[in-house]
Amino acid sequence: MESTIKFEAEVGRRHSPDIAWPTIILALGLPTLWAVSTWAALTSKAPLLAAMAVNTWVLYAYYTPLHDASHGAIVPRRKSLRWLNVFIGMISGLPIFMYHYHHRRSHMMHHIKTNEPEDPDTFAMGTFWEVSLIKTPWSLINQLNPVKLYQGCASLNLKPHEHLWTWAQYLLTVALLAGLVAAGYGREPLLLWLIPWFIGEMVMEVTFGWFPYHDSTETGRYRDTRTALFPGADILFLYQNHHLIHHMLPAVPFYLYRAVFDELHPILEAHGARIEGFWPYSKPTATRAGPRLLLTPSAAARYCASAPSTHAPPRRTSTAPWRCSPRLASGWLHRKSHTLGCCWVMQWMAPPAPATGAAWTVTARRSGNRAWMVSRAVSSLGTP
């Protein structure tokens, strides 16, 4: 099969905004929620357990803006504002004892060496229970270990200013914790920070580090990680269930992974990508159609004889005979491709017709801002 990387890159470019405002709002909203929750617990305006639960979710979610900042996905193109990536990365990493420059260098190595022996995320390799109960807790403890931090900075060859900022962040968090304990507030940071951090990061490390890769033996663009489709996945995993999309197009912000997946779904299937369910290598248990666009019979009748765009995703194949037909072309399209100027081609697999059981593939195209036109509608059963 011929390469579709250029088409994938173009899809990624269109889904990489100049400024990822939702990520910025999340990064600034999380400390606000954490502060309100902590204040409510300290003033007895909310139960302690409720505040701990809220803080656990907050500290679980903190990794998302840090992760996007590491890839420059918050401000990917505006050079004058790229400092926001560093700023968001630093303020998001502090509460979870992860430091922007150190994490960024380690994470880039992970992308280059995914599932290879040199992959720095070895803590996420192993059985579910081994990773959950042994490797992940130990890796979290080591995030507070200055010796491990020093060794990590040395092995990653951080630049002098990156060393400086990393140690400044580490010393700031240690000084803050020590100051609270010295002031007689040891119980509060333990219950409202350290325990929620440990639980939240345990869940994050497993959902971000183990679930997308297990069994960590496959490499390659479409197989080194996966997309998991199950009810509520996008919300529970903060879209990291589409980790395959992230590895393919790391400049896309997290909240647009699903839109990119919807658009690239036919290509991913054609390449044999890992599109699975909740558990690694299980079958998907949920799908979601993209935006719908109605094709009227008159528009469907306007066949387009010209060749498809070079950006067209590959058509699905079948061993059954194929025959051209306009039937079902007036139905609903399940995916809408955006116009880039020039010509756009989009594929849609129609649900089986109740009367005949025939599955249909519809190809539609559009030039400029014109309406969509069906250029081909074929039935797997060869009905006219």
Regarding whether 309 and 268 lie in a shared domain, the answer is no
Model confidence at 364, pLDDT cuts 50, 70, 90, reads low
On whether both 106 and 168 belong to a single domain, the answer is yes
Are both 94 and 178 inside the same structural domain?
yes
Query: What's the domain range around 71?
Result: 5-276
- What's the mean per-residue pLDDT of the chain? 79
More confident residue, 351 or 113: 113
Q: E strands along 209-321, which residues?
A: 226-228, 274-276, 293-294
Q: Is residue 285 part of a domain?
A: no
Tally of domains within the chain: 2
Mean pLDDT of 135-148: 94
pLDDT of residue 291: 35
| Position 372 pLDDT exceeds 80 | no
Within-domain flag for 79: yes
**Residue 292 scores a pLDDT above 50:** no
Report the DSSP beta bridge partners of residue 227: 242, 275
Residue 243 lies in a domain: yes
**CB-based burial, 293-319: b 16+ in 10 Å, e otherwise:** bebeeebbeeebeeebbebbbebeeee
Is residue 219 a contact partner of residue 116, using CB atoms and an 8 Å limit?
yes
Task: Among 276, 302, 326, identify where a domain stops.
Answer: 276
| Whether residue 298 sits in one domain with residue 183 | no
Instruction: Give the total residue count for the chain.
Output: 384
Does residue 287 lie within any of the structural domains? Answer: no
Q: What pLDDT score was predicted for residue 293?
A: 31
56-60, 270-274, 311-315, 377-381: least confident range: 311-315
Tell me which of 311 and 189 has the higher pLDDT.
189
Measured CA to CA, the distance from residue 167 to residue 195 in angstroms comes to: 23
Quickly state the pLDDT bin for 84 (edges 50, 70, 90). Answer: very high
Say if 286 falls within a structural domain: no
Same domain, 87 and 191: yes
* Same-domain pairing of 244 and 322: no
Same domain? For 178 and 219 the reply is yes
The alpha carbon of residue 262 and the mean position of all alpha carbons in its chain are separated, in whole angstroms, by 13
pLDDT value for 318: 35
pLDDT of 4: 86
> What is the Cα–Cα distance from 158 to 166, expressed in whole angstroms?
9
* Backbone φ, ψ for residue 227 (5° rounding): -110, 130
pLDDT of amino acid 90: 96
Last residue of a domain, one of 249, 276, 303: 276
Query: Based on the domain organization, do 11 and 148 belong to the same domain?
Result: yes
| Type of residue at 369 | N
Looking at the structure, do residues 96 and 60 belong to the same domain, yes or no? Answer: yes
E strands in the chain? 226-228, 274-276, 293-294, 323-324, 332-333, 343-350, 360-367, 373-379
The answer to whether residues 172 and 217 belong to one domain is yes
Residue 281 belongs to some domain of the structure: no
Domain-embedded: residue 338: yes
Residue type, 169: Q
Is 306 within the bounds of a domain? yes
28 shares its domain with 159: yes
Together in a domain, 121 and 243: yes
